[in-house]
Amino acid sequence: MIAVDTNILVYAHRPDSPWNSEAKACLRELAEGFDPWCIPWSCLHEFFGVVTHPRVFTPPSPLAVALGQIELWMESPALAILSEGPTYWAALQATLIDANITGPRVHDARIAALCLQHGVTTLWSADRDFSRFGRLKVLNPLVRKR
């Protein structure tokens, strides 16, 4: 199963992103396909916070547009939203220890732990920081499109 990180979501949503067309094509492929794919709840939260932030984008995405985008993704019948379950703490603790994570990198570790907990085989991300989580395969789907 493929999980999608925040940056891919942002690029697909924002027409002013230089990666917009590639990211939209990647998400369309997942959303319209039959294979299961997923987004961690924390990535949806972060997506919303980034695209609606006036210091990140001028103009930021309006509230209704950002919420509508999330709703569209959630209409994909193959989509699962990843959340913490009973084994989450053990997965997070192992991820923190394995990658020697402290401080602000905990957010990335949380995403990695959620993916590992739910059996995700690949995380699509343009963020190289995920390479520190050796048990999770990370692929930037945008580079294959250019």
Residue 145 placed within a domain: no
Residue 50 placed within a domain: yes
Q: Are 2 and 120 in contact (CB under 8 A)?
A: yes
pLDDT of residue 144: 67
DSSP string, 44-55: HHHHHHHHT-TT
pLDDT of residue 10: 98
Residue 74 placed within a domain: yes
Residue 144 placed within a domain: no
pLDDT per residue as tens digits for the range 1-14: 999 999 999 999 99
Residue 71 placed within a domain: yes
- Domain holding 78, by residue range, is 2-139
The Cα angle at residue 84 between residues 48 and 40, in degrees rounded to 5: 35
Residues of the chain with pLDDT under 50: 146
Question: How many domains is the chain partitioned into structurally?
Answer: 1
pLDDT of residue 106: 95
Residue 73 placed within a domain: yes
Q: Is 127 helix (H, G, I), strand (E, B) or coil?
A: coil
Is the pTM higher than 0.85? yes
CATH of the domain at 95: 3.40.50.1010
